């Protein structure tokens, strides 16, 4: 129904952000809300999911990311939250390459993706991910980037023990939240 919303970011949390458009605040679940800052003007592409008990908006940085999300949703066993968790790493080319190489082990490193789901991803998506993805990462100044990044990883479904390993590995580094998240996801994918 909606293609995108254009407004001002009024709230950012580990799992979602609020975008005010014409004095209406839209709660939008995004893969990585910390690429936005409160007060930023943003154009967010959206996908609406209507359920019996909820109406949900999922947001994306660009149309290519939205298209990848929709293709992930077409895979049996992958719902919107799992698809967002997969997109959070922003290594969309790595995801596409893993599907083309039939790399089940790589795909199983995403939260909520077991062996059967990884095999289903390969079966359903191989040869169908010819979407160009914008892998640009915004680096924003933030007050407590490591803590925010760990909250974002938890919201994506990673276990506390995995998050503790990431936090220990990056303790003492001076990175922006988005950089911690990206580095943390890469670290978790290598495990």
pLDDT, position 130: 59
Q: What is the pLDDT of residues 31-46, one digit of tens each?
A: 989 889 999 999 999 9
Low-confidence ranges of the chain (pLDDT < 50): 131-143
For the chain, what are the domain ranges?
4-60, 64-125, 145-190
Any idea how long the chain is?
191
The CATH number for 4-60, chosen from 2.40.50.140, 3.40.630.40, 3.40.50.300, 3.40.190.10, is: 2.40.50.140
Residues 6 or more apart whose Cβ sits within 8 Å of residue 159: none
Taken in order 110, 116, 118, 124, is the CA torsion positive or negative?
negative
- Give the global pTM: 0.67
pLDDT, position 132: 42
Q: What is the pLDDT of residues 136-171, one digit of tens each?
A: 333 333 347 888 888 888 888 888 888 888 888 888
Which residues are 57's β-sheet partners? 48
Taken in order 107, 175, 15, 18, is the CA torsion positive or negative?
negative
pLDDT, position 160: 83
Taken in order 158, 164, 165, 170, is the CA torsion positive or negative?
positive
Q: Could you tell me if 7 and 42 are in contact, meaning their C-beta atoms sit under 8 angstroms apart? A: yes
The CATH number for 64-125, chosen from 3.40.1780.10, 1.10.150.20, 3.40.50.11740, 3.30.470.30, is: 1.10.150.20
């Amino acid at each position: 129904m909606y293609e995108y919303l254009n407004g001002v970011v009024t709230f950012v949390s580990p799992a979602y952000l609020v975008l005010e458009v014409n004095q209406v605040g839209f709660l939008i679940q995004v893969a990585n809300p910390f690429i936005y800052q409160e007060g930023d003007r943003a154009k967010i592409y959206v996908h609406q999911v209507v359920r019996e008990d909820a109406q949900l908006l999922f947001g994306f940085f660009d149309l290519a990311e939205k298209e990848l999300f929709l293709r992930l949703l077409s895979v049996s066993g992958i719902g919107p939250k799992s698809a967002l968790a997969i997109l959070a790493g922003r290594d969309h080319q790595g995801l596409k390459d893993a599907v083309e190489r039939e790399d089940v082990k790589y795909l199983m490193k995403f939260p909520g993706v077991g062996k059967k789901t990884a095999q289903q991803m390969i079966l359903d998506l191989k040869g169908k991910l010819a979407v160009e993805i914008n892998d640009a990462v915004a680096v924003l100044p933030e007050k407590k980037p490591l803590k925010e990044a760990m909250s974002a990883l938890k919201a994506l479904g990673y276990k506390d023990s995995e998050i503790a390993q990431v936090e220990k590995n990056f303790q003492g580094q001076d990175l922006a939240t988005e950089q911690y998240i990206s580095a943390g996801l890469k670290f978790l994918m290598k495990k």
